[in-house]
Amino acid sequence: MLRITIVLTSILLFLTACEEKKAPLTTANFTVEYLTNPTGIDAAAPRLAWTVQGAYRGARQSAYQILVASTREKLDLNQGDLWDTGKIASDGSIQIPYQGQPLRSEQVCFWKIRVWDGQDVASAWSDTQFWSMGLLDRSDWKATWIGYDAGLKDKRHPVKPWGNETERKDVYRPLPAPFMRYEFELDKPVRQATLYATALGDYRFFFNTNRVGNDYFTPGWTDYNKRVYYRTYDVTSLLKTGPNVAGAILGPGWYSGNVANLGQNFYGDKPRLRGQLHITYEDGTRDTIMTSSKWKTAHGPIREADMQGGEHFDARMVWHGWDQPEFNDKNWSPVDTTDSYDIELQAYPAQPVVKHVELPPHSITRLAPGFYLVDFGQNFTGWTRVQLTGSSGLKIEQRFAEMLNSDKSLYVKNLRSARATDTFICRRPEPTVWEPNFTYHGFRYVELSNYPGHLTPDKIRGVVAYSNLPRTGNFICSDSLLNVLYQSALWSQRSNFLDIPTDCPQRDERAGWMGDVQVFARAAAYNMDVSAFLSKWMREVAETQYEDGRLPSMAPRIYGKTAAGWGDAIIIVPWRLYEIYGDKRILEEHYEGMKAWMTYVEKNSENGISKVWSFGDWQHIEGDVIPTDLFSTAYFAHSANLLSQIATVLGKNDDAARYQQLFAQIKTAFKEEFILSSGLLEGNSQSAYVLALQFNLLSDEERSKAIKNLMRRIKIQNHVLSTGLHASGKILSVLGENGHKDKAYELLQTDKYPSWGFQIARNATTPWERWDGYLGAGKFNDSPTNSFNHFVFGSYVEWFYSTIAGIRSLEPGYKKILIAPRPGGGLTFAKGEYLSIYGKIASNWEIVDGRFLLHIEIPANTTARVILPSDAPMEAVTESGNIAAEAEGVMFVKAGDGAIEFEVQSGVYQFEVPISN
């Protein structure tokens, strides 16, 4: 009777929570197309989002109103002349498409919102936000493409696939970065000045000595023969009445510099720059300054600028004052021009690459007079900023590497044909602080040669650069190894999320391998806000697709090889973005491409068995091989199942039924083809069992056998992993969800070979591509595929958030949240946080004297299911010192099988319960 009373009380309190009058809601975290106050976007119906905040349990939005105005003044008067939604009865606060007046090029839109709570009490109006439109029509672009072709040759410089160290000497033809300038006069005060800039190459703009923006490697990597991004900058403060100078430096970038191991000039051999400065004066009149044949150019100190080769800077050739008025440019040449290219210009839709932090040296070793070895203590992506003082003509070199040989020399064999060398030639014996402009390296160590004087820690810094993605997650626990593994995965994501998600940042590859991204996508989203970043990359994926539906294995496309498990990214990554951010539009945009891929795989299958080639479970342990047909068919089934769900979301019911039927057919074929009479899967590898279980390809009875066989394989492997790129990211969840959570913890916490802990024990600071990349005592695997910074092999971090902290999504965008931490591995506490699109989610637990204490935070406008790991009776659970089922905002659901479940509304909760044995 007591239990019935508690349950009824629980339901009543859950339903009536927040019925009493509370303080009004507030709003925060405003975004347009996932960006904060973006400039120069080109989405015709940009999507708005905000978070709701309330200092009480059960805070929720019942309605909203959006005002969008053409001027700040009109918005201040609550005049939404572009869009006034009126009061909309809805709890929607994400993915709200603009539905106002048609937007024109360059239009600035000011907006604000207010919301109503469950008691119909309105919030105050939010602070004013804004976005601006870019150049929406091709005809808006009037500027000429300009460059400097002196010294360039129409010659491709290819590198043999998987080039070796000796080839480095002859694959680089120095590609300089020309300087360009144009003087112009402004005869009246400027109200607004906006620069639209793009390049076939890599640009940097200046006005009157001031650099424009703080971004790097612009406009970004695309298939330049089809599509190029442009960026938009507010440069009002950089202009002045009277004489002005526009300056630019044009590097080869991905356009004509070395790309992967395909050499130079992959997309073209003549870099080009295009820019338009749109000026509005205080009196309302307008003017435009453009790149044109009137600009002048000359080579300067940047004698070579290459992503892989490095930068060669000759300070003796610096043009002092080149970006100031009245500079004497009589010896400069007219620019070379190209009127037009048959390519599409699009606004850059994500966060750019920027500097983030500067690392001090961990140690500096003097190897010989003028020769130093610097260890930054962390493998990362970027470059150095170094203070140099030397006589004119002194040549100082920096060489970069991830690892050292046993004699303290740089281990560079794994760089293949990437020279990774920066060179500085001194102008005069005065201190100069230098850092490169158009290159980056993946490294922990840097060797300096011919360095004059004594290199002290204050004279050198490691500059960390990556796409400016907001941090969304955090994790820490009582196990120091797991904390190091977490940081290792995070650093690898930083290292490789540089405009596109590259597989590795150091060697002559640095490519957007699709398989890596689809495996790591959810882990990536826990760590950082990848909504705009991966949405942008999906554009690159889409433009790689061939007419027959097949896809290459990387985007942008530089190799054409099609591979199962890699091409499937066109389905898996948009689905992840939908799950994580509630993004239905990404499914709509890529739906036809998804179908085309599935059609291609169907045509290349026999009786439900895919015959699409694949790399398989890349870098698995030798001798534990997954058959190619099994691997490809598993992904064939998985993509059919996902595509059925996607079709359902989009209301395409006939397609949904067809792809679900296809999934069932493939599942049947899979079992008939690959389950042997002994009950083993063909190949009997850890990877095979993991994929079959993760992709739901087995019956209940078959699942039970597969789990037992997987456990046997792990035991045979001496209780370590034999999996590769795909299954290593899934094995922890497969074990945890099938009754073997303790084995998952064991695999994480061991330092036996092969394991993640084995790498940490050998001073790894980022995940390796190969389990045997380095065995200690100077023993390297000299395979050409031996990266020491491969983000996909840090996909274990997903399990840290989803299982150790227990934060998962039950509805798209985390509208409904699951909090289900699963302690184990001797952990006594764990703290996980994730900033979802609705707001902060926290799950912090500790075990004290046999009791499980759980602190959770559920953001306003969402609800959660909480599962406590205990076989105690429901009455034993307390929340903030009271019986949990009687607490405000809490409703008991069920208990049993070592778990107690509750539904909770938004708010902060403190649960306590005796922990299960």
List pLDDT tens digits, range 69-85: 999 999 999 999 999 99
Residue 127: CB atoms within 10 Å: 9
pTM here is: 0.96
Q: What is the pLDDT of residues 331-386, one digit of tens each?
A: 999 999 998 899 999 999 999 999 999 999 999 999 999 999 999 999 999 999 99
Residue 402 annotated among the catalytic residues of the structure: no
| Per annotation, catalytic residue among 769, 798, 833, 886 | 769
pLDDT band at 559 (very low <50, low <70, confident <90, very high): confident
What is the model's pLDDT at position 171?
59
Task: Report the C-alpha gap between 512 and 750 in whole angstroms.
Answer: 31
| Per annotation, catalytic residue among 509, 540, 798, 888 | 509
Q: What's the average model confidence in pLDDT over 624-636?
A: 96
Residue at 37: amino acid letter: N
Q: What's the average model confidence in pLDDT over 165-171?
A: 45
Answer yes or no: is pLDDT of 652 > 60. Answer: yes
- 7 exposure class (CB count in 10 Å sphere: 0-12, 13-18, 19+): middle
Task: Report the C-alpha gap between 231 and 41 in whole angstroms.
Answer: 9
Answer yes or no: is pLDDT of 158 > 70. Answer: no
CB contact burial 429-443 (16+ within 10 A = b; e otherwise): eeebebbbbbbbbbb
Q: What's the average model confidence in pLDDT over 105-120?
A: 98
- In order of 627, 682, 728, 795, the CA distances from 687 in angstroms are 10, 11, 8, 15
What is the model's pLDDT at position 165?
40
Helical residues (DSSP H) of 187-267, grouped into ranges: 253-256
Q: What's the average model confidence in pLDDT over 322-328?
A: 95
Q: What is the pLDDT of residues 740-755, one digit of tens each?
A: 999 999 999 999 999 9
What is the model's pLDDT at position 883?
96
Answer yes or no: is pLDDT of 498 > 50. Answer: yes
- In order of 193, 544, 562, 571, the CA distances from 559 in angstroms are 41, 10, 9, 20
Residue 769 annotated among the catalytic residues of the structure: yes
Angle between helices 569-581 and 585-603 (to 10 degrees): 150
Helical residues (DSSP H) of 100-241, grouped into ranges: none
Task: Report the C-alpha gap between 456 and 365 in whole angstroms.
Answer: 10
What is the model's pLDDT at position 13?
52
Helical residues (DSSP H) of 843-907, grouped into ranges: none
Q: CA angle at residue 760 from 757 to 765, to 5 degrees?
A: 135
Question: For residue 873, what are the contacts with CB-CB under 8 A and spacing of at least 6?
Answer: 895
Task: Report the C-alpha gap between 759 and 409 in whole angstroms.
Answer: 20
pLDDT band at 172 (very low <50, low <70, confident <90, very high): low
Q: What's the average model confidence in pLDDT over 887-909?
A: 97
Q: What is the pLDDT of residues 851-872, one digit of tens each?
A: 999 999 999 999 999 999 999 9
pLDDT band at 254 (very low <50, low <70, confident <90, very high): very high
Answer yes or no: is pLDDT of 216 > 80. Answer: yes
Q: What is the pLDDT of residues 55-74, one digit of tens each?
A: 999 999 999 999 999 999 99
Look at residue 729 and give its three-state secondary structure: helix
CA 486 to chain centre: 16
Answer yes or no: is pLDDT of 23 > 60. Answer: yes
Percent of the chain with pLDDT over 90: 93
Answer yes or no: is pLDDT of 141 > 80. Answer: yes
Task: Report the C-alpha gap between 851 and 386 in whole angstroms.
Answer: 53
Q: What's the average model confidence in pLDDT over 292-319?
A: 97
Answer yes or no: is pLDDT of 832 > 50. Answer: yes
- What is the chain's mean pLDDT, rounded? 95
Structure tokens at 522: 């959810």
- In order of 379, 388, 750, 758, the CA distances from 761 in angstroms are 15, 36, 10, 5
Answer yes or no: is pLDDT of 620 > 70. Answer: yes
Compute the half-sphere exposure of residue 62: CA atoms within 13 Å on the CB side of its CA: 13
- Ranges 338-342, 386-390, 636-640, 666-670: which has the least confidence: 338-342
Percent of the chain with pLDDT over 70: 95
Structure tokens at 307: 């992503």
Structure tokens at 451: 């360095």
